[in-house]
Structure 1
Amino acid sequence: MNRDVIFDRLQQYWLLARFDKPIGILILLWPALWALWLASSGSPDLLVLTVICCGVVLMRAAGCVINDYADRDLDPYVERTKLRPIAAGKVKPKEALIVFAILCLTAFALVLLLNTYTILLSFGGVFLAASYPFMKRYTQLPQAYLGIAFGWAVPMSFAAQSNEIPLVAWLLYLATALWALVYDTMYAMVDKEDDLKIGIKSTAILFGDKEREIMAVLQIIIMLLMIQIGRLQNLSWIYYVTLVCASLFFVYQQKLIFHRDKQSCFKAFLNSNWFGLTIFVGLVLEFALKP
């Protein structure tokens, strides 16, 4: 196999794992970092921080690969996904499964460096990541299942850092799951017409004409959960100012999706990154400036 062929295969695997689109990594990473900073009072163990960050990158990639494998017969009929490597015939399904296995095994090898509690939780993470892509065939709430899967980084981070999962961790897990439900519904609004044609289920379809109102209610619940987390952790005004700033991104996202324009809905999804970053910056400042 010559160098050009090897380079092409690696390039296709890179695209298959969506390493060229880091937004997915970021919105999965922020809740994990929130959890680590809360669990460690702003001073996470370096090994734990490294393993969690690398694990997020690897498992997000694995999730993308298995998603495209599951949707290999559907993606060619969706405008946004028809050029993905498997849909375009550039990567064979069997190759995708091998890539998925390699990514999962690499992530698991890293988790073995952590405590037993985290290792046990990692099996749940793999199950959620592997099963999520098939949910859109059986439930109207695949975005909710994605939230459950994406949020799993929160209890894992708490377990890795403090070897326990306190109440505040589960509140953060719920907030993260609801946040993923919201931004993935915005993402699903982009594909709503194509999904209706080919029979794919989504919350964008389930919520119908009330999707904006339902997401607004969910966003309010998320903010209430974040306030309660601050109270339980005895956080200062710095954290609450951050929440006010973060809430402005929710308001902006509502403005973007108001007319249900595809490009604006996708822009609202991308804007979710700034919500996550803002809260993380607030937590860093909270513990860095605390006397």
Structure 2
Amino acid sequence: MSDAAARVADSVGNWVDSRAPLWSRPYLRLSRLDRPIGSWLLLMPCLWSTALASHLAGDVSQLPFTIVLFLIGAFAMRGAGCTWNDITDRDLDARVERTRSRPIPAGQVTVTQALVFLVAQALAGLIVLLQFNRFAIATGIASLLIVAAYPFMKRITYWPQVVLGLAFSWGALMGFAVVLGRIDAAALALYAGTVAWVIGYDTIYAHQDADDDALIGIKSTALLFGERTRLALAIFYGLAVVLISVALHLAEALWPAWIGLAVFAAHLVWQIARIEISDARLCLRLFKSNRDAGVLLFAGLLIGALV
């Protein structure tokens, strides 16, 4: 198979297709390094909680090092999670137009090769995790059960986005565990708000595959909400803003953090106003824009911590 034919259908024109060595491309695609948006979205709650916990601690001296570790860990563990997802979903992926060109159903790598690659990425994540305190290490390991269960949820419930939210929001707890060595009420409120945010943006993402999913029996909130998606987004994004504001209040956050939250909320309102569930390209664009929303909130939290 030529490399041009081996490219993933919904990821073209990226650095993996044009610059990476040929032998590495299937593995980089398995870890989604050709589409790093998921890694950035996984990183955002880590950044938020690290900045907010540093504000509570009154100490930002470890902030740069902690952010670098979370950056490496987010990319490693998102890659591992995607590899696990592709292993468990290989038969389903082969039946969906957007995913049948992924490395395993396309025959670019075997399941055994993918498993070895999964272990390598997980070990990289473990090395990062071991740089933290014991409480943070235990907190990080606890997330693996949710990560392992997620790929199977779409087969049994219309709410797999909730389980994804529980996994992708774990960083909201990790920052507090690393910086403060504890998980307090502010961390739990931040976690709950982040879960609501993830449910919202992944519902947008799931609308790309809604027709194929319905045909092969995969469940999602996109199918559950259907034409009521705009209302559902308003509810979940509204919950996210309210719960994150509770976290800021409990942490006695300063004015820059509140400005960051206001801009974050405005971005979510823009997404709700723009959404057209029948437009797959627009759904992907709005989904990806959540990285920018997360950065805006982080900027406010970071400035608040530095102040």
Q: TM-score if structure 1 supplies the norm length?
A: 0.92
Q: Which residue of the partner structure matches residue 210 of structure 1?
A: 228
- Indicate yes or no: 2:34 matched with 1:20: yes
Q: How does 1:32-181 map to 2 (within 5 A)?
A: 32-41=46-55, 43=60, 45=62, 46-181=64-199
CA displacement 1:32-61 (0-9 Å, x = unmatched):
001001111171625433332211111101
- 8 Å contact from structure 2 (residues 87, 111) kept in 1: yes
- 8 Å contact from structure 2 (residues 44, 295) kept in 1: yes
| Partners of 1:156 and 1:245 in 2: CA distance | 24
Q: Which residue of the partner structure matches residue 17 of structure 2?
A: none
Aligned residue type for 2:79 = A
- 8 Å contact from structure 1 (residues 108, 122) kept in 2: no
Q: Report the secondary structure of 1:234's partner residue.
A: coil
CA displacement 1:244-279 (0-9 Å, x = unmatched):
211221122112214532111111101111110100
Q: How has the CA–CA distance of structure 1 residues 265 and 58 changed in structure 2, closer, same or farther, with 3 Å as cutoff? A: same
Aligned residues: 284
| Partners of 1:255 and 1:26 in 2: CA distance | 24
| Partners of 1:144 and 1:246 in 2: CA distance | 21
Partner residue of 2:210 out of 187, 192, 198 = 192
Q: Which residue of the partner structure matches residue 3 of structure 1?
A: none
- 8 Å contact from structure 1 (residues 118, 160) kept in 2: yes
- 8 Å contact from structure 2 (residues 154, 160) kept in 1: yes
- 8 Å contact from structure 1 (residues 188, 204) kept in 2: yes
- 8 Å contact from structure 2 (residues 93, 105) kept in 1: yes
CA displacement 1:50-107 (0-9 Å, x = unmatched):
3322111111010111111111001122121121111211011111111111111221
- Per the TM alignment, residue 195 of structure 1 is displaced from its structure 2 partner at its CA by 0.2
Q: Report the secondary structure of 2:108's partner residue.
A: coil
| Partners of 1:91 and 1:255 in 2: CA distance | 41
Q: Which residue of the partner structure matches residue 241 of structure 2?
A: 223
Aligned residue type for 1:36 = T
- 8 Å contact from structure 1 (residues 104, 126) kept in 2: no
Moved more, 274-283 or 37-46: 37-46
- Indicate yes or no: 2:219 matched with 1:201: yes
- Per the TM alignment, residue 118 of structure 1 is displaced from its structure 2 partner at its CA by 1.5
| Partners of 1:272 and 1:93 in 2: CA distance | 32
- Per the TM alignment, residue 239 of structure 1 is displaced from its structure 2 partner at its CA by 2.1
Q: Report the secondary structure of 1:191's partner residue.
A: helix
- Per the TM alignment, residue 160 of structure 1 is displaced from its structure 2 partner at its CA by 1.4
- Per the TM alignment, residue 208 of structure 1 is displaced from its structure 2 partner at its CA by 2.8
- 8 Å contact from structure 1 (residues 44, 161) kept in 2: no
Q: How has the CA–CA distance of structure 1 residues 187 and 172 changed in structure 2, closer, same or farther, with 3 Å as cutoff? A: same
- Per the TM alignment, residue 225 of structure 1 is displaced from its structure 2 partner at its CA by 1.2
Q: Report the secondary structure of 1:137's partner residue.
A: coil
CA displacement 1:167-186 (0-9 Å, x = unmatched):
00011111111111111100
Q: Report the secondary structure of 2:101's partner residue.
A: coil
- Indicate yes or no: 2:19 matched with 1:11: no
- Per the TM alignment, residue 25 of structure 1 is displaced from its structure 2 partner at its CA by 1.0
Identity within the alignment, %: 36
| Partners of 1:281 and 1:155 in 2: CA distance | 19
Moved more, 260-269 or 229-238: 229-238
Aligned residue type for 2:172 = V
Q: Report the secondary structure of 1:73's partner residue.
A: helix
